[in-house]
Amino acid sequence: MQERSFITPLKESIEDKKKELTEKMEKQMMKRLQSSTYPMRELLAFYRCAMMEVETKFRVLDEQFSLSHDRNPIESISSRLKTLDHIYEKARRKGIPLTIECIEKGIFDIAGVRVVCPFENDIYMLRDSILSHDDITLVEERDYISKPKPSGYRSLHLIIEVPIFLLNEKRLMKVEVQLRTMAMDQWASLEHRLMYKKDIPEEVKNDLRKKLLECADLNCRLDLIMQEIKDTTDLYLEDQ
């Protein structure tokens, strides 16, 4: 019994030392990355170029579709680039070494493009159209429309690889694309504002989650009804 009581605190002390050393090494690596600003600024510039490429492709699809169908399948397009702090935080959370090479290979959503559509069918039409481009590679797809998250969140997520053409090279960059209807986008924006990093008691949060899930169900029903209305009106337009 005496031996066991001596060994246990010793093991805990060793684990604490390991954790302290790991945190110290991570902080040193972060300082090196932040001090070598040019490589990181260059990498983020590449991601900005990739976002512009993807945005342009969607805008071209929207313009072409409007010419042939007399309506636009895209309501809005926006983009965002993760900050260095968020990149480093995600790398630590996923256990990715804090080097530029590992961050680029291990984090797929540094660059993000969000496409908001009027109707649910527009989402899948745009998905098929963008993936038909011979310079686009699908890396990953998550369909939270057919299988919503437990919270009620609905959206189609694509990780695609797109080439950017630099002065002396072609470089492949990953971009996360989120495709949503207007109802899905409004719900996600409000849910984020109401629930994200708020100091709310857990019992109150549980009640709010139930109400948000009810709203998500209503939004899903709204999208279905609006799609039915559109499909019906399209039939009459075809007869003219």
pLDDT at 31 over 70: no
Q: Which two tokens stand for residue 86?
A: 């968020």
Segment 45-50 shows an average pLDDT of: 96
Q: For position 48, what pLDDT does the model report?
A: 97
Q: Is the dihedral of CA 130, 131, 137, 141 positive or negative?
A: positive
| Residues facing 161 on adjacent strands | 137, 174
Q: Is the dihedral of CA 64, 68, 73, 75 positive or negative?
A: positive
Percent of the chain beyond pLDDT 90?
A: 62
Residue bearing tokens 């490589």:
39
Q: For position 205, what pLDDT does the model report?
A: 84
Q: Backbone phi, then psi, for 74, in 5-degree steps?
A: -120, 125
Q: For position 41, what pLDDT does the model report?
A: 86
Measured between alpha carbons, how far is 157 from 66 in angstroms, rounded to an integer? Answer: 24
pLDDT in tens, 155-200: 999 999 999 999 889 999 999 999 999 999 999 998 888 877 667 8
Measured between alpha carbons, how far is 92 from 86 in angstroms, rounded to an integer? Answer: 10
DSSP 106: H
Q: For position 193, what pLDDT does the model report?
A: 82
**What value does the CA radius of gyration of the chain take, rounded to a whole number of Å?**
23
DSSP 127: H
pLDDT at 1 over 50: no
- The candidate with the shortest Cα–Cα distance to 163, out of 152, 151, 155, 172, is 172
Terminal-to-terminal C-alpha distance of the chain: 91
List of long-range contacts for 30-38, beta carbons under 8 Å, 24+ apart: 30/88, 30/98, 33/84, 33/88, 33/98, 33/99, 33/100, 34/84
User: In sequence order, what are the residues at sequence separation of 6 or more whose Cβ sits closer than 8 angstroms to the Cβ of residue 146?
Assistant: none
Q: Which two tokens stand for residue 130?
A: 């963008």
DSSP-derived 3-state class of residue 215:
helix
Measured between alpha carbons, how far is 35 from 50 in angstroms, rounded to an integer? Answer: 25
Measured between alpha carbons, how far is 132 from 128 in angstroms, rounded to an integer? Answer: 6
pLDDT confidence of 11, banded at 50, 70, 90?
Answer: low
User: Which positions are annotated as active-site residues?
Assistant: 176
pLDDT in tens, 94-107: 998 888 889 999 99
pLDDT in tens, 142-154: 999 999 999 999 9
